């Protein structure tokens, strides 16, 4: 028993030392910009619109435009080889939506503008012109402040007492609280901070009452635990198993414990899902155009879809679904990459896992600031880890050469 405890302590110290060395490298690669932290905090305010702006833009989109403009004074830090195939996919995605929108009574300009802004946002993060570390920490701080203001009665209560605040919606709040803590993990200095951040994130997430986000977050954390030493085939099998687990939990526990009072909302959601299914079937294979992922119920009242995959299919057909999902999967998982799957990379993968499963039951997941931040952060973390490992290999090679020189008579 004593030997086992000693080994566990030694392993914990090793993990902590590894995380500190990674943090030291990330600190140099991604120095904190307090202006970007401050602006990042306002990206959570999805429920705040600024009247008088073009197309009545929400505050986060104004902030995103500001961050993109701010990036123009910076310098690119990283070369992103994946952009060679991701840019064509993004062009195909936008093009499919625009082509489908060329019909009467389709107001597509705002939707396409948002997608273009998100693509620029991902690009600025991926090239290092914006600090992913700063923006992630800013959004995490914004969520913490929002929760405090909500329970002090200062931030708005838009959904019957569950944590929303300036996020404006229960599902938006759930998505943000599920993804942001996972994106914080790569930038933590010590190992003990990881479970602390995840527990705090889970606590705030549970206050949003979003069952889908809670399930997706749990699966993402399990991904961090189960897959570090698994190959691509096993990881693919785990994702497949996850879909079965997600469906089983939804069918058997959706109204258990604290969720037993959801019969009314679940009945409405079922009607929305059925109407969305019918509309999606009519829209395929090419889609109906941007901003068409809504249905009319209850005397012409408009509701958004509760399924991001169907929303993509309705707006841009199979082309848009394949393009968007491929972008997320290829950036996050990269099964043929030779780069080792470090803890920081696995944490970014887990954020994408959460996004893929949130998208099954939430209406707007892929084309969001949170989704774009996950993509940009993943690209940055992979670039930083590649540089760090190259530096380590260079030092090891230098040490080997010095040893050889010492042996020369």
- For the cut 80, the answer to whether the pLDDT of residue 228 exceeds it is yes
Average pLDDT, the chain: 83
The SS3 assignment for 303 reads strand
Q: Which of 358, 63, 389, 388 is nearest to 182 (CA)?
A: 358
The SS3 assignment for 304 reads strand
319: which 2 tokens?
């082309």
221: which 2 tokens?
């954390």
Mean pLDDT, range 95-115, rounded to an integer = 64
- Residue, of 281 and 81, whose pLDDT is higher: 281
The whole-model pTM stands at 0.88
Q: What is the pLDDT of residues 248-275, one digit of tens each?
A: 887 776 555 555 555 556 677 888 888 8
The SS3 assignment for 288 reads coil
Distance (Å, rounded) from C-alpha 384 to C-alpha 243?
31
- For the cut 90, the answer to whether the pLDDT of residue 114 exceeds it is no
Residue 150: predicted pLDDT:
96
At 362, give phi and psi (nearest 5°). Answer: -115, 145
Q: What is the pLDDT of residues 371-403, one digit of tens each?
A: 999 999 999 999 888 888 877 777 666 555 445
- The domain limits of the chain are 2-407
Percent of the chain with pLDDT over 70: 78
b/e for 376-389, b at 16 or more Cβ within 10 A? bbbbbbbbbbbebe
Q: What is the DSSP string of 102-166?
A: -STT---HHHHHHHHHHHHHHHHHHTTSS-HHHHHHHHHHHHHHHHHHHHTT-S---STTSS-GG
Strand partners, 294: 304
Residue 258: predicted pLDDT:
54
Strand partners, 304: 294
pLDDT-derived band of residue 8, with 50, 70 and 90 as boundaries? Answer: very low
Half-sphere exposure of 123 (CA within 13 A, CB side): 16
- Give 228's contacts (C-beta < 8 A, 6+ positions apart): 341, 343, 346
10 Å Cβ neighbour count for 235? 18
Distance (Å, rounded) from C-alpha 193 to C-alpha 200?
10
Q: What is the pLDDT of residues 133-153, one digit of tens each?
A: 999 999 999 999 999 999 999
- Give 257's contacts (C-beta < 8 A, 6+ positions apart): none
Strand partners, 297: 301
């Amino acid at each position: 028993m004593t030997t086992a405890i000693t080994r566990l302590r030694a392993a914990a110290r090793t993990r902590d030392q590894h995380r500190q060395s990674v943090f030291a490298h990330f600190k140099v690669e991604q120095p904190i910009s307090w202006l970007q932290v401050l602006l990042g905090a306002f990206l959570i305010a999805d429920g705040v619109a600024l009247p008088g702006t073009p197309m009545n833009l929400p505050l986060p989109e104004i902030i995103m435009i500001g961050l993109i403009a701010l990036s123009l004074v910076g310098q690119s830090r990283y070369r992103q080889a994946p952009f060679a195939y991701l840019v064509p996919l993004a062009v195909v995605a936008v093009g499919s939506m625009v082509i489908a929108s060329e019909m009467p009574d389709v107001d597509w300009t705002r939707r396409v503008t948002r997608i273009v802004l998100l693509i620029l946002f991902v690009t600025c993060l991926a090239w290092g012109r914006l600090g992913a570390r700063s923006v992630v920490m800013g959004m995490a701080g914004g969520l913490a402040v929002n929760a405090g203001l909500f329970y002090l009665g200062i931030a708005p209560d838009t959904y019957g007492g569950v944590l929303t605040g300036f996020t404006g919606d229960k599902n938006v709040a759930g998505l943000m609280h599920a993804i942001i803590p996972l994106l914080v993990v790569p930038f933590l200095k010590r190992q003990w901070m990881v479970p602390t951040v995840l527990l705090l994130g889970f606590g705030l997430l549970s206050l949003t009452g979003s069952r889908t986000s809670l399930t997706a977050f749990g699966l993402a954390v399990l991904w961090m635990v189960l897959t570090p030493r698994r190959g691509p085939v096993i990881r693919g099998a785990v994702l497949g198993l996850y879909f079965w687990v997600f469906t089983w939990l939804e069918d058997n526990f959706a109204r258990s414990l604290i969720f037993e009072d959801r019969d009314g909302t679940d009945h409405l959601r079922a009607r929305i899902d059925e109407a969305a299914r019918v509309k999606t079937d009519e829209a395929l294979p090419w889609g109906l155009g941007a901003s068409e992922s809504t249905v009319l119920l209850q005397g012409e009242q408009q509701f958004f879809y509760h399924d991001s995959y169907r929303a993509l299919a309705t707006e841009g057909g199979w082309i848009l679904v394949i393009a968007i999902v491929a972008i997320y999967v290829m950036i996050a998982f990269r099964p043929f990459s030779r780069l080792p799957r470090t803890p920081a990379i696995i944490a970014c993968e887990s954020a994408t896992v959460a996004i893929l499963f949130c998208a099954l039951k939430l209406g707007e997941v892929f084309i969001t600031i949170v989704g774009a931040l996950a993509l940009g952060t993943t690209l940055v973390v992979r670039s930083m880890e590649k540089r760090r490992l190259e530096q380590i290999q260079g030092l090891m090679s230098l040490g080997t050469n010095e040893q050889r020189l010492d042996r020369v008579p």
